[in-house]
Structure 1
Amino acid sequence: MLIEFARAKAGSTIATIRRRDGVLLELPGYDRKHRVPHDLAHVVTERELGMSGGVFGSIASGAMFSNMRVVDGKQRHDAGERSKRLLKANREALVLAEIMAGVVHDAVEHEGGRSVCAEARRAWASVSVDPFPWTDQQLTDAVRRLTELAANYQRDDAVQVTWPDNLSSAVPDPPGIKRGRRGRNKSG
């Protein structure tokens, strides 16, 4: 998936997203007060941390957020229902993506403030008792990559990013679909 972030007329950002299925989407940003586009922070953070259930992994699989619009291409016949299933299945992952993208975004926006690793662990602990799933290197790589892309965006008023196919979210089956082996007898 190819994503281009460009400065919109009103000073915010608009992301143009070309999905693998040929559908072209627009995702407006509401980040006039930030130097670094927040949705760019999502792309970088989710990609560097391998978050397939976040915003852009969900979009890659067909999720549509309420502020998005189709610009070109033909969506699947079941696009609306597919989107609902994805958003419901990824609810927790989307919250985590928002939290982690916020930490990375803040680190880049405020250039060298508090430790991104300590902040990420603190944010994680506020929503989960599980062990922190990422390494310090992944977090510092996310900050470094977002810093580079933010500089390019500041210079050119636009930047392109690719989303890897292997980070597309799994699409839940529609209700009523049963998977498994048919006709299997109980004796073997």
Structure 2
Amino acid sequence: MLVVFAHSTTGSTVATMHRGDGVVLQLPGYDRKYRVPHDLAHYATERTFEMSGGVFGSIAAGAVFSNMRVLGGRPRHDAAARSKRVLDGCKQSLGLAELLAGMVHHAVETGIPEQAPALVRRAWGALETGEPPWPDARIAEAAQLLTELAADFEAAGTVRVTWPDHLVPATPTPRGVRRGRRGRT
């Protein structure tokens, strides 16, 4: 899925997603007070941590958040139901993605990306016991990627990235739908 981050007319950012099914969606940002776009932090964090159930993996799988709008393409006949299934299936990982992206975003926004590992470990400790599943070097990679993307965004006013197909979660099967052949008698 192609994702284009750009400045919006409101002074914030907007992410435009070109999904593999031909649907083009727009996700507005609410980050006018930040130098680094928050949704860009989601991309960098979710991509580096290989979180398929975060914001961008969910969108690639068919989720449409309530603040998004369809810009082009033809949504599936069951788009709303599919979106609900994906969002329900990714609920926990979306919350985790929000928390982790917030920590990486804070570290880069404040100009001290080297704090990202400590911030992520602290946030992880509020949810889980033990160490996070990502070593400090991987967390530092997320902060580095966000730093680079933010610099590109600042310089050009737009950033184009690709969300990989292997980080798209499977869409949960609708309840009450059986798969397979019926036995013949």
The reply to whether TM is greater than 0.5 is yes
Pick the TM interval, shorter chain: over 0.9
2:11 paired residue number? 11
Deviates more, 1:56-65 or 1:105-114: 105-114
Give, in whole Å, the separation in 2 of the partners of 1:176 and 1:89: 16
Give, in whole Å, the separation in 2 of the partners of 1:25 and 1:117: 32
1:140 paired residue number? 140
1:61 paired residue number? 61
Aligned pairs for 1:96-111 within 5 A: 96-111=96-111
RMSD of Structure 2 on Structure 1 (CA): 1.6
Give 2:124's aligned amino acid: W
1:89 paired residue number? 89
1:40 and 2:36 equivalent?
A: no
1:70 paired residue number? 70
Paired residue secondary structure (2:5): strand
> How far does residue 177 in structure 1 lie from its aligned partner after superposition?
2.6
Structure 2 vs 1, CA of residues 146 and 113 (structure 1 numbering), >3 Å: closer, same or farther?
closer
TM-score, length basis structure 1: 0.92
Give 1:147's aligned amino acid: T
Give, in whole Å, the separation in 1 of the partners of 2:113 and 2:144: 14
Give 2:45's aligned amino acid: T
Asked if the contact 2:61/2:171 (under 8 Å) is kept, the reply is yes
Deviation per residue, 1:77-103 (Å, 9 max, x gap): 111001001111111000000001001
Structure 2 vs 1, CA of residues 91 and 141 (structure 1 numbering), >3 Å: closer, same or farther?
same
Give, in whole Å, the separation in 1 of the partners of 2:73 and 2:130: 41
Give 1:45's aligned amino acid: T
Give 1:77's aligned amino acid: H
Query: Could you list the runs of 5+ residues in structure 1 that have no partner in the other structure?
Result: 184-188
How many residues are aligned here? 183
Deviates more, 1:109-118 or 1:22-31: 109-118
Give 2:105's aligned amino acid: H
Query: Could you list the runs of 5+ residues in structure 2 that have no partner in the other structure?
Result: none
Give, in whole Å, the separation in 2 of the partners of 1:181 and 1:94: 35
Deviation per residue, 1:132-172 (Å, 9 max, x gap): 11111211111111101100100111111110000001110
In percent, how many aligned pairs have the same letter?
56
